[in-house]
Amino acid sequence: MSDATTEAAVQAIVERADRRFQRSRRDLWVSMDRLFAALMAGQWVFGLVLALTVSPWAWAGTERSVNPHVLAALGIGTLLSGMPIALAFLRPGWVVTRHVIAVAQMLWSALLVHLTGGRIETHFHVFGSLGFLAGYRDWPVLLTATLVVAVEHFVRGLVWPESIYGIVNPEWWRFLEHAFWVVFAVSFLTVLCRRGVREMRTLEERGAELEALAESEWRKSSVVTRAAS
């Protein structure tokens, strides 16, 4: 086999591997979009339950009443879930869809923290959300999520600290503490995303090589069969 033929064969395998990789990655993105659509619907129901049960106690002490800000939060929850669900089914796999989902998911964390009166346990929803978003294996999505968390904590900490920290007068640097742990988690998740992408590409390269080998063997078998006949 000449060098030109060998080079052409290698190039064909590379192109085949790239097509397989792009197809697999898009399938992953579409699958994650649909998964988040279901999660958004579930979070809306969960938020409704919190607003009707936990929030009246968390915000009104011993007097159980549904306050206007709780009802407003339900409307916000509808908006947060509506857009991602629509995009997940109308534009699955689209880069904008992933980033809209990332923004909505982190704002859902903020809303749930609000509905529970700033309970520290609810803040773990932030880290769970980041873990789910890492399933896209697309690190810019994590960057978007991190920026949303940092800005949201900073702004709400200035305007209404009790709704996020559970106390009226937290230290001014409290948002930096929260942001630090988010960045800490995202740094490792980013490494895992990049490693996952490399593994996907490696698998598709091996798959392309096997396909090329199978086709080559099939052609040889066909030539031998025609020669024998």
**Could you report the per-residue pLDDT of 68-104, keeping only the tens digit for each?**
656 766 788 889 999 999 999 999 999 999 999 999 9
28 belongs to a structural domain: yes
Copy the structure tokens of residue 106: 């982190």
22 belongs to a structural domain: yes
Q: Which residue has the tokens 């980041």?
A: 130
CA-to-CA distance for 221 and 157, rounded, in angstroms? 72
Query: What is the model's pLDDT at position 17?
Result: 85
134 belongs to a structural domain: yes
Residue numbers of the chain with a pLDDT score lower than 50 = 61-62
Query: What is the model's pLDDT at position 66?
Result: 56
Number of domains in the chain: 1
Query: What is the model's pLDDT at position 213?
Result: 80
Query: What is the model's pLDDT at position 208?
Result: 82
| 180 within 8 A of 159, measured Cβ to Cβ | no
Query: What is the model's pLDDT at position 61?
Result: 47
Query: What is the model's pLDDT at position 16?
Result: 85
Query: What is the model's pLDDT at position 82?
Result: 93
Query: What is the model's pLDDT at position 27?
Result: 96
Query: What is the model's pLDDT at position 117?
Result: 76
224 belongs to a structural domain: no
Query: What is the model's pLDDT at position 39?
Result: 96
Cα angle, residue 173 at apex, residues 171 and 176 outer, rounded to 5°: 140
Whole-angstrom Cα Rg for the chain: 25
Helix axes 95-115, 3-52, angle to 10 degrees: 30
| 125 within 8 A of 112, measured Cβ to Cβ | yes
pTM of the model: 0.84
Residue range of the domain that includes 105: 3-217
Copy the structure tokens of residue 199: 């593994």
229 belongs to a structural domain: no
- E strand segments, the chain: none
